[in-house]
Structure 1
C-alpha cells in the first residue's frame, strides 16, 4: 500500500485528524474515543457505527494501542517538518472547523453542514484531499497555460517577424514599381521622340514634295502666261506678221503640259502608344442597347448585343449625297417629350448613362459596311429640324467602315483610309477632360478625338447604313 494510503488509515473518519485515544467497536471500525462519545450520546448505551451503521454498544469499546502509537508517530513526523492539513477556518453558520469540501457548491463546509439537508446528496471530501486534488489540477493547468503562453509568444514573435518580412517585401516592391515605371517613362519618352522624329522627317518630305509641286505649277503658269502673251501679240499683228508660221505657236499651245492632279496630303505616321490597349481595358464597361430607342428598321439578336439595319440597300444614296443620309427629321407637331425612339435616323442608343469618370467600350463591324459610333446627349431623340449629325446637335461620332473613317463634324465628308482594315473600334470617354477618342481596338492605334466640355448626361450612340450590322463584344476586363 502506498505511503499516502497508509497515512489516510491514521485519520479518524469523524474528525478527519490523526487518531487520539483510538477505540475499536464491534464492527471493527476505529474512532477517536472523544469523537465516538459525541456521536453516540443521543443513543445511550447502543449506537450505530458512523461508517457502516451496524449497531454497537459502549460496553464493547476496546482501546487500539497499536493504532494509537502509529498515529502518534505520524503526528510527530508532521510536526518535525512535514506539511499538515491546513486549517480552513470556521463555518459561518455553525462555528465548527471547515474540514470537508463540497464538490457541488465548490466551497469548504463543516461536519455539521455535512449532516444538514442542504448537503445531504452532495459529494463531500476531506479538505486536505480536495486541497491536494485541486492543487494538482491547478499545477497541471498552470503547466498547460505556460505551454500555451509559450506557443502564443512564439506565434507573436512569428507574427512580428512576418510583419517585418512583409514590410521589407513591400518596400522592395515599391522600389521595383518605381524603377519599372521610371524605365517605362524612359521608354515612352524614347518612343515619343522616335514618333516625333518620324513626323519631322515625314513633314520635311511632304514639304519638299509640296515645294516641288508648287515649283512645277509655277513653271506651268509661267509657260502658259508666256504663250498667252505670244498668242495675244500674234493675234493683234498685221496680216503678213500673223501669217509668219502661225502653226508653230498653235502647236506649242496645244502641246503645253497641264497634266497635274492634286494629291490630298495625309499624315502617314500613326500614333501608336505602347500599352495603350492594355490601359484602355482598365476602363472597359459593359454596354447594353436600349431597344426601345431604336429605329423601327433595326433588328436585334444575340440577347440584344447585335443589331442590323434591315433597310434595303437601294435606299443608300450615292457617296456625293451621302451626307444627307445623316439627317434627323422630326415631325414639327411632335414635342421632344413625345419622341420615344428614332423615327428617321437608323440609330439606337445605349442604356448606359455617363455623368462623370472614364469609360471604354468596343464595337465590332460585322458587315464591313458603313456604321457610326460615339456618344450623344440623352435628349438627342428630340433633335429639331434637319440637323446634321455633329457636335453642334450633341452627337460626337465617327463614321467608319473596314477601309476608311471620317469624323461627323457637320463639314463635307473627307474620308481617311484605314490600313490595315479595322474590324473593331474602341470608344474612350473621359468626361472630366471633355474628350471622346476612338482607337483601333486590336492594337490601340489612335484614330480620332473630339474635345469639348460636356454639360449633360451622355449615352452611347450607334448608327447603321442599310444592311450594315454591328455587335458589342463581351467585356473581358475593366470595371
Structure 2
C-alpha cells in the first residue's frame, strides 16, 4: 500500500484530544471524532452547555454517537502497521554488503554491518551491539514518553479549565448584554415619560397664558374705550360752564391705565435619576472627611464638638488669639489641606441668606484685601443672587435654590466643581493650574442658622 495513502488514513483516525489512534471512537454533532474516554473526561466537570474542543460549537447537552466505521478503520490501520513493521524486521540485512546488521553507530545514529563499521565513512566512530543500543534508547524513550504523557495530561487539564473559562465568559457576556439592555430600556421609558410630562406642562402653560392674555386685551380695549368717551366729553364741555368742564376733566385725569401684563416662561431641564449620574461615583470614591479648624475661626463663631457644624452668635467667644483667625468677617477654614489627588465634600447651607464655600491657597490673616488671588469660591449674598469669587466675579442664578452644595476638587486636572445637590446640577466650575496647598473655606454670614459639613452625603429632593 502507498505510504502516503497510509499516512492519510492514519491522520483521519487520530483523536483531536490525545493525538493518538482513537479508542472506541465517538462523533460529536458538529462532525469531529474523539476517543470516548477523552471526550468524556473533558466534559465531565462541565455543567450546562458544552462545546466542541475543535470548532468551539456550543451544545446545550452532552451528546455524541459511537462511530463503528472509524473503529473498524482504526483496526485495519493497526494491522497494516504491524505488517509493515514485520516486513521491515525481515530486512535486517545490509543492502550494500548483504551482511547482518549487528552494530549501532552512536555518532551517526545508524545501524551497521561489520563491513560498514570498518569503512572510511564510520572510521573512528564509537559502535556498540544493536541489542545494547536498543536497550539504552528504550530506557531514554520510556522516560521521554512518561514526561510527554505528564505534559499532555497537564495540557488537557489546562484545556478543560480554559474551556470552562470560555463558557463562563460567554455566560457573563450574555448576562451583561441583558443587564445593559434592561438599563437602557428603563432610561428610554424615563425619557419618554419626562418628555410627555414636559410637553403637557408647556401645553397647559400655553393655554393659561393665552387665557390671561385675552383677559388683559379685553381690559385694554375697555380702558381705551373709556378714555375715548371721556375725551369726547371733555371736548364737548370745553365751551360749557366751568363746573361741568372741571368735573369731566377731573374724571379724565383720574383714569388709571391697567398694569402691564407680565409673562415669564418656566425653564424646563432634564434631571436624570441618581443612578445615572456621575456624581454617585464621585461621592462614593472621593468623599473626604473635612472638619472645621478652630484656630482659624472668627471669634463669634460657635463650632460643635465633632467640628462638623458652625453658627454665628452675637456674643464673642472666649478664644485664644491666633494670627490665623479671621477678624473682619465670620469665616473659617478646614483642618486638612490638599495638594494632590481628588477630593469631594458636601456642605448643608439650608435657607441661609448669605454663605460662601470654596478653597484658598494658604492660612492668612483676617485682612483679605492683600489676597486678590489664590481664592476660588461661590456664594449667596441676597434672596436670589449668587456670585463666583476668584479670577473673575460672575453672577448666576440656579434653576433650583441649593440647600446642599457638593464640592469636587481635582488637583491634578486643575478643576474645582460646585454641584447643587437639590437637583444634582452643576452650579459652576473653575479651571486653573493649582500650586501649593488648598484649604477648604467657609463663610457663614451673620444669621444664626448653622453651616454643616455632611459626613454621609445623600441626594436632596428639595426645590424652591
**Structure 1-normalised TM-score?**
0.45
If you compute each CA radius of gyration, which structure gives the higher value, 1 or 2? Answer: 1
- The structure whose RCO (Cα within 8 Å, separation 6+) is larger is 1
TM-score (norm. length: structure 2): 0.46
